[in-house]
Amino acid sequence: TSGGGAGGGMSRIVVVSNRVPVPQGNAGQAGGLAVALLGLMQRRGGLWFGWSGAVAEAASPPNLVQRSGVGYATIDLTEAEHRGYYTGYSNGVLWPMLHGLPHLMSFRRPDLDTYRRVNRRFADALVPMLRQDDRIWVHDYHLLSLPAALRQRGVLGPTGFYLHVPFPAADAAAVAPGIRGLVQDVLACDLLGFQTASDRENFAATAIGFAGAVRTGDEMLELGGRPVRLGVFPAEIAAPEFAATAAAQMQAEPARLLARSLREQALLLGVDRLDPTKGIPERLEAFRRVAARRPPRSLAMLQIAAPSREDVAAYKRLRQEIDTAAGAINSELGEPDWLPLRLLARPQARDTVAGFMRLARVGVVTPLRDGMNLVAKEYVAAQDPADPGVLVLSRFAGAAAQLTSALLVNPHDAEGMAEAICAALDMPLAERRARWQDAWAAIAETSPERWGEEFLRALSPEALDRLPVAGT
C-alpha cells in the first residue's frame, strides 16, 4: 500500500450512493444518508459517485462537477432503469422487506434483473475513475451488488459498505426474492457497517442461514475464504451546530410566524419524509385521541411530510390516506377559529425545521421501523436547555437504543401513544430537564464526521491487515 499513515488518513475516499446531494443553492435535502455524509465529504474531499436524480433518454458517461474539494460524478438513469432499479426493486421490494413490512412489497422479476444490471453499470462507470489506493465506501440498499461487481472488475482495494436502514430477522429477509444472491454480493467487501447491534446480528444470521457464510469471530464472517468484518456505527448528527441553528432561528420569520399563530397552544411536531415506515397514519390517530380529550385551542399539531418516491404505489396510497385522516381530524374536532392539525406535504428548509423543533413542546417521532431516525436526535439538539420539550419516540427506531430517556412508545398502539403524548404535555419542568439532559449527553459529543472517521478508520489498510486471516 502507498501513502496512508496510521488510520490511513492519506488515501482518497470514494463514496458511492444512489442519492448524491450535489450542493446547489441552499435547497434542503430530506434524507438521513445525505445529511450524514455531506459534512464529512466537504471536510475530507474526495469523490462522490452515484445517480444524478435525473431520468434521461439514453445512458451517457458520468458528469463531473467540483464543489469545495469534492468531485461529484453522476450518471442519469434511463426510464426503464429508474422504474426497475429505483422504484421497483429498491423501493418496492428491499425497502419494505428491510423495514419488516412485507405486505407493502410488490415484486416483478424483471425489476430484480434491472437492479443487478444498474449495479453493474455503476461499477462500469466508476472503475475508470478509481486510483489504486482509494478507499471505497458504498452506501445503502440500492447498491448491494456493487461490491461484487467492483471485485469482478479487478478492484482489490479496501471496500466498505454501510447499511443506513435496518436489517430484519433471517426469515423476514428471505421474503425478498433475490436476497440470497445480493447478500453474497455485498459480502465481497471488507467491512460491513450497521446502525445497531441487532441489525448486525440479523444480517449475520441471514448470511449464515441463506448465503453460505460462516462465522469466524465475534465480528467476522467468511464467504468462499474471504473474510468480512461486521461493525456497528450508529449514525450521528452535528448536535451543537443544530442547537445553535435552532436558537438563531427563533428570530427568523418562519419561527416567529408559527409562534405568533400558536398563542397559548402547545405545539406537537412531526417531521418526516412521506414514507410508509414513518407511522404517520398511526401518529395522526394518536393525535386525534389526544385532541379529543383536551380543550379546544389548547394544543396544535404540525406534521411536515415531504413527498418522497412518488412513483411507488404504496407511497401514493399513503398520501391519500394521510390527507383523508387529516381532513377528518379537523372536521371532527376543529372550531370556527381553530384547527387542531396543520399538515404540510412539502419539505421545509433544514434551518426552518430546526426552529420549529425548538418551538415544539412535544416531538412526535413514531416510525414503525427506522434504521436510526435522525429527526429524533435533531429534536433533542434543538431544545432550549432551560425549558426543553419532550421526545415521544418509537421503540423501533435505531435512535431508541441511544435516547433511552425519551418516552418510548409502540407505534402500533394508538392509545399508548396518546397516553405518552398527554404525559409529555403535562410533564413538570424538572422531569423535562432531567430527561433532556440524559438525551443531550448521548448526542452532544458525537458528529457525522466522527461517525464517518470511525468507519473509515476500520476500513484503512492497517486496520484490515490486522484481521484474522481465513483458517486461523
Residues in contact with ligand ADP by CB under 6 A are 28, 30-32, 35, 271-273, 304-306, 347-348, 350, 353, 372-375, 378
- Give the nearest distance from C-beta 33 to ligand G6P in angstroms: 4
- Give the nearest distance from C-beta 77 to ligand G6P in angstroms: 12
Work out whether 116 is an interface residue with ligand G6P (CB under 6 A).
Answer: no
Work out whether 190 is an interface residue with ligand G6P (CB under 6 A).
Answer: no
19 interface partner picked from ligand G6P, ligand ADP, none, CB below 5 to 8 A per type: ligand G6P
CA distances from 265 to 158, 191, 336 (A): 54, 49, 16
Q: Three cell numbers at 305?
A: 411530510
Q: What's the chain's Rg over C-alpha atoms?
A: 23
CA distances from 213 to 209, 220, 221 (A): 8, 10, 6
Q: Looking at the DSSP assignment, which residues form a beta bridge with residue 269?
A: 302, 363
135 interface partner picked from ligand G6P, ligand ADP, none, CB below 5 to 8 A per type: none
- Say which of 164, 199, 275, 351 is annotated catalytic: 164
Q: What is the DSSP string of 85-120?
A: IIIIIIIIIIHHHHTT-GGG----HHHHHHHHHHHH
| 164 included as an active-site residue | yes
Work out whether 309 is an interface residue with ligand G6P (CB under 6 A).
Answer: yes
Contact 340, 289 (CB under 8 A): no
140 interface partner picked from ligand G6P, ligand ADP, none, CB below 5 to 8 A per type: ligand G6P
Contact 157, 132 (CB under 8 A): yes
| 142 included as an active-site residue | no
35 interface partner picked from ligand G6P, ligand ADP, none, CB below 5 to 8 A per type: ligand ADP
Work out whether 108 is an interface residue with ligand G6P (CB under 6 A).
Answer: no
272 interface partner picked from ligand G6P, ligand ADP, none, CB below 5 to 8 A per type: ligand ADP
Nearest to 104 by CA among 115, 114, 91, 116: 91
The residue with its CB nearest to ligand G6P is 31
Contact 34, 19 (CB under 8 A): yes
- Give the nearest distance from C-beta 305 to ligand ADP in angstroms: 6
Contact 228, 267 (CB under 8 A): no
Q: Under the rule (CB under 6 A), what is the footprint of ligand G6P?
A: 19, 31-33, 140, 164-165, 308-309
Query: Which positions are annotated as active-site residues?
Result: 164, 370
